[in-house]
Structure 1
Amino acid sequence: MTEELVKQDSITTVREFFAALEVNASGEALDLLHPDIVWKNTSLPDVRGIRRVGGMLRGLSRGWIGFAVDMHHIAADGDIVLTDRTDYLRVGPVRVGFWVAGTFELRDGRIILWHDHFSWGNFLRGTVVGLWRAARTRG
């Protein structure tokens, strides 16, 4: 397989992963993860293994919780994929949008490392805006 095909396959895998998360298809998302997956988030404990990561992702499938993403940029160098995106977490009527830079490493065509970097300040701002919008639409 040429280097260009590996890059495209890696990007496709990451895009499909996020697409599955957006439609609450955690089973499809899990199929794209390596059994030894490590999910890292800025200043939070690492989540290791398909069972634990799967439990977290299945939690996004509850009716009152949701996830969406706006992918701004995505690039690959072989099995490494970098993303620049806005993630949206919804809890009930509150939708929190915040910027995330992600690094994904793939092994055997599956994501083995998912490392997200975000600003707690930006997350807090998104929370305040989400709460304000939810309160405004209720009245």
Structure 2
Amino acid sequence: MTDAGTVVRSCLDALEAGDSATALALLDPDVEWRNSGLPTLRGRRAHRALLDMARRGIGFEVRFHHLAVDGQVVLTDRTDVLTYRRFRMEFWVCGTFEVREGRIVVWDDHFSMTNFVGASVRGLVRAALLGRA
């Protein structure tokens, strides 16, 4: 698998399916993952615990709106969904991925922290209301 768009989509699809082993295999051992306003993670080992969401009962869903490929660079316009028990949050993410030799070497996600916090608050309120039902 060397098509950059296929690599990125396969990685995110594997995470959605709860298959962190496949997702990790698509990351370069020295991958750099940047998230807006959060510390940069470096190396596959640093990603293992974060990406093994299903083991902790965290669900992940990705809805692609656009995916553009230019050589080995992939841009994604997507909505990410995180769930935990009754909690559910949805937030917009723009990702830039660099792929080399069939593996992601840079994963750079941009999102609005205001949108992220708002989605978290809405998710908590919904979870609390569902808990009373």
Shorter-chain TM band: over 0.9
| Residues 1-139 of structure 1 mapped to structure 2, 5 A cutoff | 9-58=3-52, 60-138=53-131, 139=133
Moved more, 103-112 or 60-69: 60-69
* 3-state SS, counterpart of residue 54 of structure 2: coil
1:48-92 CA deviation, whole Å, 9 max, x = no partner?
00111122112x122521111111100010000000001111122
The residue type equivalent to 1:104 in the other structure is: F
1:14-37 CA deviation, whole Å, 9 max, x = no partner?
111111001110001011111110
Percent identity, please: 50
Cα distance in 2 for partners of 1:131, 1:54 equals 26
Moved more, 124-133 or 77-86: 124-133
Q: CA deviation at 1:117?
A: 0.4
* 3-state SS, counterpart of residue 44 of structure 1: coil
Cα distance in 2 for partners of 1:91, 1:48 equals 26
Cα distance in 2 for partners of 1:132, 1:70 equals 23
Q: How many residues align?
A: 131
**What's the TM-score, normalizing by structure 1?**
0.88
Task: Point out where structure 2 has 5 or more consecutive residues left out of the alignment.
Answer: none
**What's the TM-score, normalizing by structure 2?**
0.92
Task: Point out where structure 1 has 5 or more consecutive residues left out of the alignment.
Answer: 1-5
Structure 1 stretches of at least 4 aligned residues deviating more than 3 Å after TM superposition? none
RMSD (Å), alpha carbons: 1.3
The residue type equivalent to 1:99 in the other structure is: W
